[in-house]
Structure 1
Amino acid sequence: MKVRKFSGEIVNFNEEKLIKSMVSSGADVQTAKEILKEIQPQLYEGIPSKKIYKLAFQKLKTISKAHAARYGLKNGIMALGPAGFYFEKFISRLFELQGYTTVTNVFLEGKCTSHEMDVLIKKNDHVAMVECKFHGSQEVKTDVKIPMYILSRFNDLKTTKINHFSSNDFISKCWLVTNNKFTSEAIKFGECSGLSLLSWDYPIGNGLKDIVKQYRVYPITCLTTLTIAEKEVLLLQDVLTVYNLIHDKNSFAKLKLSQSRLKNVQKECNQLLNTQL
């Protein structure tokens, strides 16, 4: 059976890949295989991969909302748009969990022109700039023009003294982060020029999806028990992650949930974080 991907490309349906993606969300192999068996009658030649995802997502949701939330992580990160402002703050949180000191939305004066930086990070006396490239559509990849442009900004800033962390810092490294994927040429250029690249699946085994799961820093936008409007209320209050939500009781007060809904949201949050109820 053929499947139409987000990009429009037609490929063979890969059952093992679907099972693996459900298992990575927390479901056991047997459950994943049963879900596949249940949705197979609804599959057809040329079905969009997006529809297969929705079918699997709904089945996972009936078994465990936390499984469904992990399965929907990529869409949850995409919901941090459309402008990408929340995505930049989310990436800042990721670096903080890895021991960095961070600051967002910084204006710096380079050798030739001024620049607005998404994130500045510091660790062990080394300062780096982090540029975030947010895409609101899954089929869009970050091509080679972006790292080439970011490198030119880095070159204009690396000799400039900055004082956002201490009075005698210089930017010595540059990161380019995207919520989607890089083209092969973008990766090749990044590796050759010394840029640090981070995308949904790159570096292999240590991409954005891997770091999120390792540090359990799930965005609130992947929760299945909250409405879009409720998530927006939290984002406006700077509550970006499930960890922030579950550890800030005032956040729940702002949502004005019924006791039964509150328990459901808290249960999903705790299951995502693997903590005791």
Structure 2
Amino acid sequence: MKIVKHSGSIVEFNRDKLKRSLLKSGASTEVVDSVLEAIDSQIYEGITTKKIYKLAFNLLKKSSNSHAARYNLRSAIQMLGPAGFFFEKFIARLFISEGYLAQTNLFLPGKCVGHEIDVAIKKNDYVEMIECKFHASNDAASDVKVPMYILSRFNDVKDRYHTIFTRKDKISGCWIVTNNRFTSDATAFASCSGLKLLSWDYPTNSSLRKRVDDDQLYPVTCLTTLTATEKDKLLVMDVVLAREVIDNREALEKIGLSPNRIKNVLKEASELCKYFRP
């Protein structure tokens, strides 16, 4: 059966691929098989991947909000836009969970010009800069021009002392992080130039998706028990992660949730952030 991707290209429906993505939500084999059976009865020639995803999400949600939330991870990260400011905060939280210090939204002087730096991180006295490339569409990819441009910015700031974590910090490394993917030329250029890349599926054993799952760093936008407006309000209050909701009932009260809804949100967040390995 042929289905239509976000880009408009037509591909063969891959049931096994869909099953793998459903299992990564944490749902049991029995639940996943039940979801697949329901989808089998509703899909048709020419259906879009967006509609298949929506079907799967709604069916998972009937079983468990937290399973649907995990399945919704990629879309939830895209909700950290539209400008990507909250995506930068999310990435800072990711590195903090791995033992780094982190600061966001910096302006640093370079040898030639000044530069806006999305995130700076530090571990063991080693300071690195992170440039975040946020995309609101699944099909967008960061091509070779991105690392070429960022390498020039890194070279302009790396030989100077900066006041970031101390009064005399030197930036010794550079990351580029995207919520989508890099082209093969981009990864080849970055590898050759000493730049570190992190995307939804790269590197294979340490991708953005894997790191989020391993550390349970799900963005608050994953939560299915909140509306889009409520999620935006929490982000503005600097509540970026689902785990930050668990011990922050006050934030949920501030955005106007009833006691019963607060109970449901806390339940979903707690289940979502339990240790999970796909």
TM-score with structure 2 setting the length: 0.97
Deviation, 1:108, is 0.7
Matched residue type, 1:140: A
Deviation, 1:168, is 2.4
The percent identity for this pair of structures is 54
- Aligned residue number for residue 271 of structure 2: 271
CA contact (8 A) 2:31 2:63 kept: no
- Aligned residue number for residue 232 of structure 2: 232
CA distance in 2, matches of 1:107, 1:258: 41
- Aligned residue number for residue 157 of structure 2: 157
| 2:74 equivalent to 1:96 | no
CA distance in 2, matches of 1:186, 1:7: 20
CA distance in 1, matches of 2:270, 2:103: 29
**Offset from partner CA, 1:51-74 (integer Å, 9 cap, x none):** 110000000000000000000000
CA distance in 1, matches of 2:29, 2:87: 32
- Aligned residue number for residue 72 of structure 1: 72
**Offset from partner CA, 1:127-158 (integer Å, 9 cap, x none):** 00000000011111111111110001001111
**Offset from partner CA, 1:208-254 (integer Å, 9 cap, x none):** 11111111111111110001111111111100111111122221221
CA contact (8 A) 2:249 2:262 kept: no
Runs of at least 5 residues in structure 1 that lack an aligned partner in the other structure: none
CA contact (8 A) 1:82 1:136 kept: yes
Q: Is the partner of 1:119 in helix, strand or coil?
A: strand
CA contact (8 A) 1:105 1:116 kept: yes
Matched residue type, 2:31: T
Deviation, 1:257, is 1.7
CA contact (8 A) 1:129 1:174 kept: yes
CA contact (8 A) 2:127 2:170 kept: yes
**Offset from partner CA, 1:58-103 (integer Å, 9 cap, x none):** 0000000000000000000000000000000110000100111111
- Aligned residue number for residue 127 of structure 1: 127
- Aligned residue number for residue 212 of structure 2: 212
Structure 1 window deviating more from structure 2 (136-145 vs 38-47): it is 38-47
Q: Is the partner of 2:3 in helix, strand or coil?
A: strand
CA contact (8 A) 1:132 1:178 kept: yes
- Aligned residue number for residue 166 of structure 1: 166
Matched residue type, 1:172: S
CA distance in 2, matches of 1:100, 1:232: 26
Q: Is the partner of 2:170 in helix, strand or coil?
A: strand
- Aligned residue number for residue 183 of structure 2: 183
CA distance in 2, matches of 1:94, 1:270: 18
Structure 1 window deviating more from structure 2 (56-65 vs 180-189): it is 180-189
Deviation, 1:9, is 2.0
CA distance in 1, matches of 2:99, 2:152: 27
CA contact (8 A) 1:201 1:209 kept: yes
CA distance in 1, matches of 2:21, 2:29: 10
Q: Is the partner of 1:81 in helix, strand or coil?
A: coil
- Equivalent residue runs for 1:112-123 within 5 Å: 112-123=112-123
CA distance in 1, matches of 2:61, 2:216: 19
| 2:37 equivalent to 1:29 | no
Q: Is the partner of 1:42 in helix, strand or coil?
A: coil
- Aligned residue number for residue 105 of structure 1: 105
Structure 1 window deviating more from structure 2 (73-82 vs 160-169): it is 160-169
Runs of at least 5 residues in structure 2 that lack an aligned partner in the other structure: none
Matched residue pairs, number?
275
- Aligned residue number for residue 48 of structure 2: 48
CA contact (8 A) 1:19 1:29 kept: no
Q: Is the partner of 2:205 in helix, strand or coil?
A: coil
Deviation, 1:256, is 2.4
- Aligned residue number for residue 143 of structure 1: 143
CA contact (8 A) 1:108 1:117 kept: yes
Q: Is the partner of 2:31 in helix, strand or coil?
A: helix
CA contact (8 A) 2:4 2:10 kept: yes
Q: Is the partner of 1:162 in helix, strand or coil?
A: coil
| 2:82 equivalent to 1:82 | yes
